[in-house]
Amino acid sequence: MSELKNYHMSVDDFRRHGKEMIDWIADYYEKVDRYPVLSKVQPGEIGDSLADAAPVRGEDFAQILRDVEEKVLPGITHWQSPRFHAYFPANTSGPAILGDLLSAGLGVQGMLWSTSPACTEVETRVLDWLADLLGLPEAYRSTGSGGGVIQDTASSAILCALIAARERDSGLRTNRKGCGGRQVAYCSTQTHSSLEKAMGIAGLGRANLRQVEVDERFALDADKLAAQVKADKAAGLRPIFVCATLGTTSSTALDPIAAIGQICAAEGLWFHVDAAMSGTAVICPEYRYLHDGVEYADSYCFNPHKWMFTNFDCSCFWVADRAALINALSILPEYLLNEATESGAVFDYRDWQVPLGRRFRALKLWFVLRYYGVEGLQYHIRRHIELTRKLVQWVEADEHFEIVAPAPFNLVCFRHRGSDDLNKRIMDDLNESGELFLTHTKLNGRFVLRLCIGQSRTELEHVQQAWKLITTTAARLRADGR
């Protein structure tokens, strides 16, 4: 009988191909700004270029890498391009990539403390570091009544907060018997759609989400919130949850968390603060004012994978009372029982999230914090805000354009004076050029262009190029009568 073939990649081959892969990524970053930022492929084009079935025999790694170049890369929208200005960034950095590589290499499943103690304890320590950097209340530290955990996204964080609020209000009855349709939650009309989705997932019903009107700065109106809560209570409903946003997706509006928090404290409502984008700014002491009132919050999250150079996915979520979260999400079958859990001396982060399994996400965050240090992070945050302010000045100085929302950090909402159709044509022409990528929103019913400056490698030259392209494209369309 012939010797059985081992189909694994050998250690020597892994070492060789691993170096090739690192070189490929390094080369990619050196030339990323040469690619069209927005992929130009048509629907189905990438799929049609791939084989109809998996290969029977394994293929050479060099061929796989060639296909990445020839078949995958054309379908990439280059989020790491310094000319990417759409949505909010999902930026990364060398330390984050290497930390993620180490996490993949270790391949741990950190559902319980006992399944990899380092996975849990590094995460706990890093979240404590960040709580200090952000000036969060002492309760949010692991040594207090609450603590922090890494979720995949802010959408998961808000779902966990909502479930905890639901169970705190019902005394855990809804976990056992289901929802009765009377529990109500609140946000502004500008709040991220993930809360509406969470209302459905949590069984509370999207119809029971009250979207409160905003003020002239697109921030939640606290007086209208108080009135809505009062009206719902009078109607026999049970208000349980309020979400305030520090940096809304459309315009980076800042909800008045102190005023909202006081309402929540008076009414016994769970108060969640979603700082997914703008929370990073608070690493700089001059923006600590954003957290005035955060002491009222039951939970808080921000996303290092947006503006803190830590690759997706990595959303930091804190609660002031971890027992409320754990009681809402914990379920312990026999096969997960172990001495460490039974001792009560450890965190089992599977009880702080919806899934059971979890990756060692804290490694990449730990790498970023240690490599950049606080001063390195502050430098880049301040630099992006400085570049944003320059762009605001250029827009304000141009008679054809107007700023339509405050720009406190790194997002500029602006539009060409005139029709929505003209603004859409400007955006479409810019994106089709491949020279940059930006997106839009609607504010007060008008089509508004959004340009975000938060990509790790964006510098002054890229912002200058973007503004020049915007103005020349607009001038051409005006001349064409379009």
What pLDDT score was predicted for residue 4? 62
Query: Residue 363: CB partners within 8 Å, gap ≥ 6?
Result: 99, 100, 102, 103, 106, 122
Predicted confidence (pLDDT) at residue 389 exceeds the cutoff of 90: yes
Mean pLDDT of 438-467: 95
Predicted confidence (pLDDT) at residue 209 exceeds the cutoff of 50: yes
Whether 378 and 352 share a structural domain: no
Predicted confidence (pLDDT) at residue 438 exceeds the cutoff of 80: yes
pLDDT digits (tens, 9 = 90+) for 464-473: 999 999 999 9
Mean pLDDT of 98-107: 95
What pLDDT score was predicted for residue 1? 44
Contact by Cβ (8 Å): 349, 358: yes
Mean pLDDT of 377-385: 96
Instruction: Please check whether residue 53 lies inside any domain of the structure.
Output: no
Whether 180 and 217 share a structural domain: yes
Mean pLDDT of 209-233: 96
Per-residue confidence band for 6, with pLDDT thresholds at 50, 70 and 90: confident
Mean pLDDT of 291-313: 96
Whether 242 and 212 share a structural domain: yes
Whether 165 and 303 share a structural domain: yes
What pLDDT score was predicted for residue 339? 79
**Other C-beta atoms within 10 Å of 238: how many?**
16
Task: Find the CATH number of the domain harbouring 397.
Answer: 3.90.1150.10
Q: CA-to-CA distance for 160 and 175, rounded, in angstroms?
A: 13
Burial class (CB in 10 A: 0-12, 13-18, 19+), 277: buried
Beta-strand runs (E) in 142-277? 147-151, 183-188, 209-212, 238-245, 270-274
Mean pLDDT of 138-160: 95
Whether 328 and 355 share a structural domain: yes
Three-class SS of residue 367? Answer: helix
Mean pLDDT of 388-397: 97
Instruction: Please check whether residue 178 lies inside any domain of the structure.
Output: yes
Whether 372 and 229 share a structural domain: no
pLDDT digits (tens, 9 = 90+) for 151-179: 999 999 999 999 999 999 999 999 988 88
Per-residue confidence band for 28, with pLDDT thresholds at 50, 70 and 90: very high
Instruction: Please check whether residue 323 lies inside any domain of the structure.
Output: yes
Q: CA-to-CA distance for 166 and 34, rounded, in angstroms?
A: 50
Counted domains in the chain: 2
Query: Residue 246: CB partners within 8 Å, gap ≥ 6?
Result: 254, 255, 257, 273, 274, 275, 278, 279, 290
What pLDDT score was predicted for residue 482? 60
Which of 359, 383, 418 represents a domain boundary (last residue)? 359
Task: Find the CATH number of the domain harbouring 185.
Answer: 3.40.640.10
The percent of residues in the chain predicted with pLDDT above 70, rounded, is: 99
Query: Residue 110: CB partners within 8 Å, gap ≥ 6?
Result: 116, 119, 120, 123, 349, 358, 359, 360
Predicted confidence (pLDDT) at residue 55 exceeds the cutoff of 70: yes
Instruction: Please check whether residue 69 lies inside any domain of the structure.
Output: no
Per-residue confidence band for 187, with pLDDT thresholds at 50, 70 and 90: very high
Instruction: Please check whether residue 457 lies inside any domain of the structure.
Output: yes
Whether 287 and 346 share a structural domain: yes
What pLDDT score was predicted for residue 3? 56
Whether 306 and 207 share a structural domain: yes
174-178, 399-403, 413-417, range with the lowest pLDDT: 174-178
Mean pLDDT, the chain, integer? 93
Give the length of the chain.
482
Whether 373 and 343 share a structural domain: no
Per-residue confidence band for 84, with pLDDT thresholds at 50, 70 and 90: very high
pLDDT digits (tens, 9 = 90+) for 247-258: 999 999 999 999
What pLDDT score was predicted for residue 180? 85
Whether 429 and 344 share a structural domain: no
Whether 397 and 351 share a structural domain: no
C-alpha angle 408-241-290 in degrees, rounded to nearest 5: 20
Instruction: Please check whether residue 308 lies inside any domain of the structure.
Output: yes
Q: CA-to-CA distance for 243 and 261, rounded, in angstroms?
A: 10
Instruction: Please check whether residue 287 lies inside any domain of the structure.
Output: yes
Which of 311, 333, 359 represents a domain boundary (last residue)? 359
Which of 309, 337, 359 represents a domain boundary (last residue)? 359
Give the domain range for residue 250.
Answer: 108-359
Mean pLDDT of 278-286: 96
Per-residue confidence band for 475, with pLDDT thresholds at 50, 70 and 90: very high
Whether 200 and 321 share a structural domain: yes
Instruction: Please check whether residue 55 lies inside any domain of the structure.
Output: no
